[in-house]
Amino acid sequence: MSNADDSLKLILENILREYPSASMELPPSKIAENEVVEVTSKSSVLLLERLKSRALAKSESGRWVETEFEEAVYMTWRKPLDLLDLLLDISLEVLGEFASEGENKKSKREYLQPVLIRLQTNACLVFTEIVRLLKSGFPDGTVSLWKSLHEMVCIAYFVSKHGDDMAKRYLDYEVVENYYQAQAIQDHQKVMGCESLSEKDFRAFKQLFDKMKKLHGSDFVKKSNYPYGWVPSNILKARSLRELEKSVGLDMLRPYYDVASYNVLGGPQGLMFKLGLLRSGRKSLAPVLGPSNYGLADPGRSAAISLGQITSCLLMVKPTLKNLVVVEAMRNLVDEICNAFGEIEEEFFKG
């Protein structure tokens, strides 16, 4: 039992010292008895007050420990982490140039360029969150974010491949997403005990939904095609991320996407597989309940590759000599990041 559990146990024992049988399991018939309900209610208030006091006392020392650990992570992985920051800086500068260009003059790519700019904006935000988690020693938390980054890359490639009309369909599909979200809220808000969506608001979503159905056809709004109904059936028969990956040549990353799903789904792999664990064969050498200084290589490499891909995709909307030079420089930078992560990871297994 951990120190935290011991402290919790001692607090409870002090609060419930008048009830020597407090640790005994109650039969279902006694759980709702008045005395049990009254004791539970009063004792829970006392317990929470004392736990809050304990938490305040521990917070200052806890922050110091976190800072010290993050410094250790940075010292271990300094080179690739610094290069990730450089990659983000370049991507943000590219984004800024395209965004300002869009404000100053209307692009010939009326829908494509705005879609790619928005995807790039989201990608930079997600990448920033990934880097923050890596610097704090949470490699397993980063892979679920990388899944989102990979999906954005696939969509950016696909929309770029098929041009402005596809970009418009993608933007228009927001109406379909809004409608199905509103429908789900309406179906469950009574059970949830809330009224977050009025009938008037729902009718407004439905009107826009019907408008898109009339504009793009019933296949566009069909629920069985959600959330990829914006992809025409004559281009992809099976509308899914997996098929999207294949169509743009990114399906080689599917195994890594599946591995990234372990920690966000409820399967047994999520219980056994942790990037932050040093492993010997199938057995972990030690359990980990917090940050780790190991396991940053795979999520770091994956994030670098994906941000490089989506930034290059935006640059290639306008393939000037200047933009081609930036694309090549980013490719070299991503290679350097991947090599740096690999070299440090190998050090963990030497000796």
| pLDDT (tens digit per residue) in 119-143 | 999 999 999 999 999 999 998 889 8
Q: What is the DSSP string of 114-176?
A: HHHHHHHHHHHHHHHHHHHHHHHT-HHHHHHHHHHHHHHHHHHHHHHHH-HHHHHHHHHHHHH
User: Over the stretch 240-296, which tens digit does the pLDDT of each residue have?
Assistant: 999 999 999 999 999 888 888 777 666 666 555 677 666 554 444 445 567 888 889
- In a domain, residue 236? The reply is yes
* Residue 10: predicted pLDDT: 78
Tell me whether residue 175 is in a domain: yes
In a domain, 152, yes or no: yes
% of the chain exceeding 70 in pLDDT: 83
Structural domain total, the chain: 1
Quote the domain boundaries for residue 119. Answer: 78-347
User: 265 in a domain, yes or no?
Assistant: yes
Would you give the DSSP letter of residue 279? E
Whether residue 72 is contained in a domain is answered as: no
* Rounded Cα distance, 207 and 233, in Å: 24
Look at residue 232 and give its three-state secondary structure. Answer: coil
Taking alpha carbons only, the member of 249, 255, 274 closest to residue 264 is 274
Confidence (pLDDT) at 320: 92
* pTM of the model as a whole: 0.83
306 in any annotated domain = yes
* Per-position b or e across 121-131, b if 16+ CB within 10 A of its CB: eebbebbbebb
Q: Is 27 among the domain residues? A: no
40-78, pLDDT tens digit by residue? 888 788 888 877 777 766 666 566 667 888 999 999 999
In a domain, 33, yes or no: no
Query: Tens digit of pLDDT for each residue in 159-218?
Result: 999 999 999 999 999 999 999 999 999 888 877 777 788 889 999 999 999 999 999 999
Per the prediction, the chain carries an average pLDDT of 86
Task: Tell me the pLDDT band of 23, cut-offs 50, 70 and 90.
Answer: low
Is residue 119 within 8 Å of residue 145, measured between CB atoms? no
Give the Cα separation of 243 and 249 in Å (integer).
10
How confident is the model at residue 111, as a pLDDT?
94
